[in-house]
Amino acid sequence: MTRLIKLADWTGDKRGNVVFIHGLGGHPYETWRHADPDSAFWPNWLAEDVKGLAVYSLGYVSPPTNWVGTAMPLLDEAAHALRVLLSSAELKTGPITFVCHSLGGLIAKNIIRSAREQSDSPEIADFYARVRQVVFIATPHTGAGKATLLEWLSWLTWPTASARNLVANNPGLRDLNFGYRKLAELRAHELVHLVYYEMLDTLVGGIVAPASADPGLPNCRPTPIREDHITIAKPGHRDDLVYAETRALVAKLAPEPADPGTLRTYAPEPFRMEWSWKHLVPKALRLAVLALLVAGAWIGVPWLRSTYAGIQDSQRKIADTQAATKDISEKIGAHLQAVAADTAARERVPVETLQAILAEMGDGARTSDTAEITRKLTAKAVEFKGLNERLKQLTDADPEVSRLRASAADELARGRFAKADADLAAAEARDLTVTENLEALTRKKRLSAAESRAERGSAAKLRANPDAYREAADHYAEAARIAGTADAGAARDYTQRQAMTLYDLGSEFGLNAALLEAIALYRTLLKSVSRSQEPLDWAMTQSSLGNALWALGQREGDTARLEEAVTAYRAALVERRRERVPLEWAITQNNLGNALQALGQRESGTARLDEAVAAYRAALEERTRDRAPLDWAMTQSNLGNALWTRGQRESGTARLEEAVLAYRAALEERTRERVPLDWALTQNNLGLVLWTLGEREGGTARLQEALSAYHAAFEEMPRERMPLIWSGAQANLGFVLMTLGQREGGTARLEAAAAAFRAALEERTRERVPLLWAGTHATLGSVLWMLGQRESGTARLEEAVSAYRTALQEVTRERVPLDWATLQTNLGSALMTLGQRESGTARLEEAVTACRAALEELTRERAPLLWATTQNNLANALLSLGQRESGTARLAEAVAAYRAALEEWTRASVPLDWAKTQTNLGNALIALGQRESGSARLDEAATAYRAALEELTRERVPLLWAAAQHNLGNALQGLGDRESGTARLEEAAAAYRSALEERTRERVPLEWAMTRNNLGNALSRLAQRERGTARLAEAVASYRAALEEWTRERVPLDWATTQNNLGNALSRLGQREGGTARFEEAVAVYRAALEERMRERVPLDWAMTQNNLGFTLSLLGERESGTARLEEAVATQRAALEERTRERTPLGWATTQDSLGYALSALGQREVGTERLEEAVTAYRAALEELTRERAPLGWATSFGNLGVALRHIAERRNDPVLAKQAVSQLEAAVEVLRQSGDGPDIDIYGGELVGARAVVTRLDGRP
């Protein structure tokens, strides 16, 4: 039976309601009770500490197994619970907080979601609106592994319906989680959450994994708690983080009422598990079957023996593993003892003290690296010496008090913290024995007792663990209370020490609640310090407040705390003036720089970062290398960080160069021998900035330096002692290798980058750091994508797609929408590259879909620059699709998408991205221009490339400048094909040659080969319009040079493209020379190209090469006797037309129709009839439907002329003067266009054919 049980309330005005909901197998009281029924039941603490609060516990029957009782399914239990809550008269008013453990959190989520779905009811709508806070404690939002185990063994374990609902990855839980996230987003400013998860195992192991305990809610980071699944819900004292943060949250539920009245607590009500007789028969049957199984097992003794032997073997292996683990543990322990001994000798403190401190640190000492342990022990040694000196100097009129203090000092020297504390407690008690009334004590006695209590705090803090720090803070607080009005200055000093201890507790152990307490104390202190009378004390407190605000602000999503920190530091600097306290002024300037830098990293502008740089440089004026070398080095490193972040936001490299100088300066003092960890971290940061510089510069020198920095850092970053930092450095190394790989030919660097990212993933596991795990998979996907672009197959590209999709398992749209969208964009890029390798368009369609999905989150309003990036990538995919399809719709969409991107990627804001997009726009315009008549699109393309070159200057980005020159050459070459004369083609050749001045073979061999190939194309086209063979010889040389780098092994498809182009040049050379040698070479080259340009892989490229092969076979056949070559040419052209369809590539189809006509015409001239010649005429006329005079004047002229030649031969055979005159007319028109274009060689060819046609006309007209 589900019941709402009241635990406590107040007699006056109500402030709000808190409802505790237990989990599977839980109890409305015992789930929350720690030990002592009176003092450790935290629901009652809440009522005591938050005046006006009513506290309830929702009890329901939830056994895990039907062996002990029955339970309802999750949805039914939640629906029933909602009706119970609605029926409670006392819950009709006031805001509501749910505090939920385990299954209770799922019930609460269902209650809230169900209430929203039924909000057409005014009563339920009111209830839904009043639910303001939810605390999830170890809730399995996506299920629990142990529930899965129960399900696997269901016949034996017989799980209840509630337990079955908790099976890991249950679809119902996924649906609930998704729906609740949406609900939480809608009420982001009204519904506040806290989330906690367990870090220890119970006796049966871990129950809820950290990943499952994370509901993925906006602005809500789960907090790990060092308890198991049961004890996490049972805080033992009010300082426990779960209680402290829940109390702070609930206090914000509503203002404290003016008249809360008095607190009432209620005696526990009986609540017991309900036994059901319904399953008595099934229980009996199960027991009977189990008995039979046991009997069968007993009979199978041999099997049992072998099983037992197997168990014994497993136990031996476990023992061996435990022995090995013990050995490792002993080695680590011995190493730590050696570190303690070295530190003790150096600092001249008893080694026993440091050994005891190590013992108190526990696992924290074993998981820290040597440098960090040395640093902590050194700090504690300094603290010990100060405390020891104070204890021996403190004197008291009472000799027993003095003796006890001296004894405490001796005990601390022996590492006996408990005995030292007992001595100091005895000294304090001796001073306080006169009376319990502090005001009645003499001033001297009070201050002496306060000193003893404060030193108890100092002794506790030596122990370096969270509990000890909390104990120390409490001692300082009590010392301040004891000092009280006897000495306000002393009391304030103790409060300062309390606040500092809380700050240390929060910053060292990740406890935000302690930081909040420290902030509150510092603000209280500021009210008691007179700025006019004690300006430096006031400034010190402001600075300390700034430190606490900065530490907390770095952990929170918004910037309010960081803004407050900046304000506090600036207030401190008003009194901490340089001329008054130069070193303190410098410290505060450094801290101000830290806060400004943290703010600057979260903002889009650069003003905060510039202020941070100025603050660090100011600090260095007093924090000099001679005065404080390590502090100077720390500030140099901080300056480097700020300059690096600043440099990433500007196009030049000046700031990045300054960052390099700052890091290298820091390394002059942060030596490997002195501070190995700081040295390694600074090397890591130096590597990052060198990588960023290397990305902006041509060449690889900076990147090589970055590699050296990372390899150096790894020498002091052992994986075993600092796995996550090591994995971060591995990832950074991967970035550098990836960038190097982009600059170099081959795949070695990219393979190494992939290996580095995979190594990082060995520590960056999904369970430990899910988002970092996903981010590393995403970057691995990018490397695999680059590798795939350089290889002929698609295996790497498939791996890249898989890596991106793996990353999307954690980078979900609900959790991190912008990162999800960015990943979708990258996935689109990989799919696009895959699609370019395949004959169909399915992958390209997927790429377009991925980019469009990304744009649903990457809106222009939310993330304008990322929106522009995705528009650019969408355009790339549309361009690839458009090149595969007939028509221009996709290409027009691509142009529109590029132009959309340029609305945000403006020249003023992101000049380099603007220039790159202008280049991409040019590429799309070229593709469009090739399908349209006229040259308008090609002119636009040339304009786009020239615009890009205004920013992609040779001085700033030499390789990008060269790429733009290359693309400009492509546009000019396309224009030259459409126009008469050779001016555009000469410009194209000049642009390619300019590109080659930076695109050298040594620097970028593959890009050099590409430009060599395209230069060959321009020279070949120029040669078509000139007489002689010089240009063709140059073209052949350029292609052969390209093939030295574009090898078949390295880039098979590019190699095949260049082979195809080389064949074209050789074929043209053969036309101008006698014999057949050049033609034979060309045929061999085409056939080689077809070994990689296979129809299955690249159908349109295959068809192009088939066309070129067929045309060359026609030319070869003309010079040979017989018709075998010509017949082969016809078959080859017809094969090409199976892929080169008019719908898919109209101009390519027309070119092949023309080549087919040429082969048929040559065949027809060798045969008696006119059948082949008539087929040739049909082919030429088909070609001329697309090769119009307006669209492609030279192509039209040659095809029109070829038609004239065929008509002439038909006229001769038929003795048809009308047809002969038509042939003359066509040849005259063709020659006229060729003459206007200056195409000398073709003028000679068609001019000769015109003379022959006229002779036929004369002969036929003069017939008798």
Our count of domains for the chain comes to 3
Residues 33 and 133 in one domain: yes
Which residues 6+ apart lie within 8 Å of 916 measured at CB? 872, 948, 952, 960
CA distance 876 to 892: 12
Range ranked top by mean pLDDT from 62-66, 611-615, 1166-1170: 611-615
Residues 301 and 229 in one domain: no
The DSSP result for 209-240, as a single string, is: -HHHH----TT---EEESS-TTGGG--SSTTS
Residue 20 lies in a domain: yes
Quick one: pLDDT at residue 416? Answer: 87
Residues 134 and 184 in one domain: yes
Average pLDDT, stretch 1031-1036?
94
pLDDT digits (tens, 9 = 90+) for 956-986: 778 888 989 999 999 999 888 877 678 999 9
What's the per-residue H, E or C state across 739-783? HHHHHCCCCHHHHHHHHHHHHHHHHCCCCCCHHHHHHHHHHHHHH
- Give the three-class secondary structure for 1026: coil
Pairing of strands 96-101, 16-21: parallel
Residues 322 and 204 in one domain: no
Quickly state the pLDDT bin for 395 (edges 50, 70, 90): low
Average pLDDT, stretch 1-21?
93
Quick one: pLDDT at residue 291? Answer: 59
- 1001 versus 17: the higher-pLDDT residue is 17
Full domain range(s) for residue 1245: 1188-1264
Written as one letter, the residue type at 655 is R
List residues bridging with 101 in a β-sheet: 137
Last residue of a domain, one of 306, 322, 339: 339
- Give the three-class secondary structure for 441: coil
List residues bridging with 133 in a β-sheet: 97, 192
Copy the structure tokens of residue 421.
């504390």
Quick one: pLDDT at residue 692? Answer: 82
Written as one letter, the residue type at 961 is W
* pLDDT over 70 at 922, yes or no: yes
Written as one letter, the residue type at 226 is R
Q: Cβ distance 918 to 902 under 8 Å?
A: yes
**Edge-first strand listing for the sheet containing 3-10:** 223-225, 192-198, 131-137, 96-101, 16-21, 53-59, 3-10, 263-265
Q: Residue for token digits 């013992």?
A: 359
Residue 1220 lies in a domain: yes
Written as one letter, the residue type at 1181 is R
pLDDT digits (tens, 9 = 90+) for 725-744: 788 888 888 888 888 887 77
Average pLDDT, stretch 410-424?
86
Give the angle subtended at the CA of 1026 by the CAs of 1020 and 1029, to the nearest 5°.
Answer: 65
Residue 683 lies in a domain: no
pLDDT digits (tens, 9 = 90+) for 679-710: 888 888 898 888 888 877 767 788 888 888 88
Last residue of a domain, one of 232, 252, 272: 252
Phi–psi pair at 192, nearest 5 degrees: -105, 145
Closest CA to 241 of 221, 255, 225: 225
Residues 59 and 205 in one domain: yes
List residues bridging with 17 in a β-sheet: 54, 96
Closest CA to 484 of 532, 526, 528: 528
CA distance 1052 to 36: 77
The model's pTM: 0.48
Quick one: pLDDT at residue 277? Answer: 45
Quick one: pLDDT at residue 1263? Answer: 59
Residues 217 and 310 in one domain: no
Residues 292 and 156 in one domain: no
Residues 43 and 133 in one domain: yes
Closest CA to 1195 of 1175, 1205, 1180, 1208: 1180
CA distance 788 to 826: 14
Quick one: pLDDT at residue 623? Answer: 93
* pLDDT over 90 at 1151, yes or no: yes
Domain of 146, CATH number, reads 3.40.50.1820
Residue 1141 lies in a domain: no
Quick one: pLDDT at residue 493? Answer: 93
Residues 142 and 76 in one domain: yes
Q: Residue for token digits 């410290």?
A: 587
* pLDDT over 90 at 195, yes or no: yes
- 1239 versus 457: the higher-pLDDT residue is 457
Neighbours of 419 (CB within 10 A): 15
Q: Cβ distance 841 to 835 under 8 Å?
A: yes
Residues 158 and 291 in one domain: no
- 918 versus 283: the higher-pLDDT residue is 918
Neighbours of 1067 (CB within 10 A): 26
265 sits in which H/E element: strand 263-265
The DSSP result for 81-122, as a single string, is: HHHHHHH-GGGSSS-EEEEEETHHHHHHHHHHHHHHHTTTSH
- 199 versus 136: the higher-pLDDT residue is 136
Quick one: pLDDT at residue 929? Answer: 86
Residue 432 lies in a domain: no
Quick one: pLDDT at residue 322? Answer: 56
CA distance 962 to 949: 9
Quick one: pLDDT at residue 155? Answer: 45
List residues bridging with 453 in a β-sheet: none
Quick one: pLDDT at residue 434? Answer: 46
Quick one: pLDDT at residue 819? Answer: 81
Closest CA to 736 of 682, 700, 764: 700
Minimum mean pLDDT among 236-240, 824-828, 1007-1011, 1080-1084: which range? 236-240
The DSSP result for 451-505, as a single string, is: HHHHHHHHHHHTT-SHHHHHHHHHHHHHHHHHHGGG-HHHHHHHHHHHHHHHHHH
Closest CA to 948 of 971, 932, 976: 971
Quick one: pLDDT at residue 1115? Answer: 93
Residue 1084 lies in a domain: no
Minimum mean pLDDT among 423-432, 840-849, 1162-1171, 1213-1222: which range? 423-432
Q: Residue for token digits 């979260």?
A: 602
Quick one: pLDDT at residue 435? Answer: 43
Q: Cβ distance 134 to 101 under 8 Å?
A: no
pLDDT digits (tens, 9 = 90+) for 1186-1225: 988 887 788 899 999 999 999 999 999 999 999 999 999 9
Percent pLDDT > 70 in the chain is: 89
Closest CA to 1224 of 1213, 1235, 1214, 1212: 1212
List residues bridging with 770 in a β-sheet: none
Average pLDDT, stretch 1100-1111?
94
Quick one: pLDDT at residue 366? Answer: 57
Residue 362 lies in a domain: no
Domain of 1198, CATH number, reads 1.20.58
Residues 213 and 316 in one domain: no
Residue 1036 lies in a domain: no
CA distance 335 to 377: 14
Residues 19 and 118 in one domain: yes
Quickly state the pLDDT bin for 859 (edges 50, 70, 90): confident
Copy the structure tokens of residue 1236.
């206007």
